[in-house]
Amino acid sequence: MDDIAAHVDARGLNCPLPILRAKKALAALESGQLLHVLTTDAGAREDFAAFATQTGHALVEQREEVNGVLTHVLRRR
């Protein structure tokens, strides 16, 4: 996606740190902008889905990359 406004590399971090880093990054964005997050935590897929539901941010994409890295793209509400 070419319209990513910010990136967070949370690889190697365990819950809740990837969510906390994403929350901080989203706070700095304007409504509608996209945040790209990389994680390796096994529970991150479910954590980011729950985070999006609870906060109203849109979970635009989740996919598994090589070596167990998960990519999450969130749109700020």
Q: Do the Cβ atoms of 68 and 40 come closer than 8 Å? A: yes
- Separation CA 72–CA 47 (nearest Å): 11
Residue 15 annotated to the active site: yes
Question: Would you state the structure tokens that stand for residue 67, as one six-digit string?
Answer: 């070596």
Q: Which of 15, 29, 58, 60 is catalytic?
A: 15
Would you please indicate which residues are annotated as catalytic (active-site) residues? 15
